[in-house]
A and B are shown apart, each in its own frame.
Chain A
Amino acid sequence: MGTDRVATFEAELEGVSTVHRTAAADFEETLAGAIVEPAVGTDIPTEDVSLADTPVETAPSPADVLAAETGVTPAGLGVANYGTITLPASEEPREVVSLYCTRHVAVLAESDLVADMPAAYDRLSEDFAAGTDTQILATGPSSTADMGELLRGVHGPHETHVVVVTDR
């Protein structure tokens, strides 16, 4: 079941965003393949996954964020049949990191991948009832067609990656 879901998620994002599957034990190595330095990020709450031993600066200043090539943040949920992830805000500057860097890398626990939007909204409703105050449903990089052609990367990232931690 679970693997099917990852496959659907991957298929939805094909050509839009890069999906990396990894076990928690191989996280650092997988992440190294997804980032371009300099990289900044915020803590990943997923169990057994940490940015501590990676080149990612986890207490960046605003200038660090602007100068960084890559921003790494956790994802709250994945929605398999849309290739969507949700980005919850916190006291850390996750929102700024996920938005201002050229490349965004989101870290998603496979157990947080749901099948479809109704299932996602069940979880979102609970979150908001419990006081969550931001969830961005993000699907691929930012884009615009305002200048006459569909282009990627406008105010948000040009390129997006999702690291799915398959045993969490």
Chain B
Amino acid sequence: MTATKRIELALGPCFFNWSVDQFLDFYARIADEAEIDRVYLGEVICGKRMPFTDTVWPQAIERLEKSGKTVVLSTLAQPVNKRERTILKQQANYDMPIEINDMSLLPSREARPFTAGPFLNVYNEASLAFLSKRGAIAWCPPVELPLDSIQQIAALVPEVEIELFAFGRLPLALSSRCYHARAHGLSKDSCQFICERDPDGMDVATLDGKRFLAANGIQTLSDACHVAALTADHLHTSGIQRLRLSPHMSDMVAVSNAFREFLDGALDAAELDAQLERLALPGPLCNAYLKGEAGWKKTSLPA
């Protein structure tokens, strides 16, 4: 009998327009205090934000690596202009782990190892096997992919590690239009970086005032906060090696430590939910994507 490996925890790339100081403080705390094995960082959503945070990443990488964490550079999900495409090509050749979020990057990476990010449309075993042949060693499935599909793919492509999106507002859509700019009567080109006002995204409600979505520049996220409270046993059975926690202004050290306790069996699913709900989350809990249902719903998951 082989000993089952400990389920790891990863911190996903931050989707939001945080300041340099916010980022540096955030990653310093993650380095020192969080039960996190791996950290994805880098600007993923908007290339216009890149010049402001360029100085953050080398410092954060050094700090996180010193504390023994694996650091992965996550890359832009929708490169549009020449400057962004050039940056991607440079990143493809960095001598560090990277996460690919757009097919643009695949040729430049030239079969060197990478993580296939949740923005790539990988929905089945043949697509993942295809990427595996071209260097994918880990995969974070698109958030709408049900757990039974992930389980089938894991069984058929065991050579790729699977990392499940497990905490945070769900990344639902990308556009070429900036909804932050539009909501404030601005255009994308003259956006004044107004998305910095909403470090967890801009709340979007329905006509009857029900919370629904969150806008973050060109990205649309869920209002609700996805929590995949799947036990370590269940994750092992499903072929999942790691959970991904997506950064928010909530106390992410407390979030990650609660997940660690849950995976180690010190908390049950209800206790995990209760602990998380005490942490000023950006929205109510949801998880029904895992069962192939409407993502905003909260349903009971098998233990």
**A and B, one complex?**
no
